[in-house]
Each structure stands twice: as structure tokens, then as C-alpha cells.
Amino acid sequence: MDVVRPKKISKDRRAKLEDLSNVIHVSSITIAELMIKASVGKLDVDFDPVEMVAKCGFEQLDFRGEDALLLKDLPFHHKEPFDRMLSAQSIANRCPIMTDDEKFRRYSCGLV
């Protein structure tokens, strides 16, 4: 498999993603957002994201009811539902989020 290294990913983050001692989760919310964007023509997804997660050695993190419960009291730092769901999932599962979006800093989820 060819490895794609987008220029947007810093060397530090790329090192964390490639470090086999780290457990890297890909949220089912992220996969859902990719598929929705592909369905409306905003993104070309010519691969199976679930298969790609497995091929990369990452683990899929499913969005659970317990994660959703946090949405009721989560502040509205994000109006975007996917970002709010990712924040709640991150807090509930104590998994940091890898993002450049500064709005995530306002939540009690960790950032990488």
C-alpha cells in the first residue's frame, strides 16, 4: 500500500500516527462525515474508509449512546453537529482529538 503523506500533517503528528506503540482511533463520526460529503459531491472518496482504517492499523471507535448523553450539556462552542459529537465522544472515551480546529480547545477533550 502506498503511504500518502499530506503536507497538512505536521512531522510531529505524522510521527505519532506512525508510532506503533500508539493506539490510533478513527471515529465512526468521521467516517459518516466523509460519506455524507461524498454523497453531496463535496469530496471524492474512492476507497472504503472502514477498510482503510484497518489497513493502516488503526481502530474504529464507534459512537455510543453513552457518548451521545454528553451532548445535552455540552456547551455550543461548535454549531457543527459532527464536531459536537466528536467532542462528546472524545470526553466520554478519554481519547484526544487530532485537529487544528481551535474551538475544540474550549471543551474538556484532549488535543494532539
pLDDT digits (tens, 9 = 90+) for 38-91: 999 999 999 999 999 999 999 999 999 999 999 999 999 888 999 999 999 999
Residue with cell 506512525: 18
More confident residue, 11 or 64: 64
pLDDT score for 2: 42
Q: What residue spans define the domains of the chain?
A: 23-105
DSSP 8-class letter at 89 = H
* Rg (the chain; Cα; Å): 14
pLDDT score for 60: 98
How far apart, in Å, are the Cα atoms of 70 and each of 12, 15, 33, 43, 92?
31, 31, 20, 29, 8
Q: Which three cell numbers stand for residue 70?
A: 454528553
Q: Is residue 3's pLDDT more than 60?
A: no
Whole-model pTM? 0.87
Superfamily of domain 23-105: 5'-nuclease (3.40.50.1010)
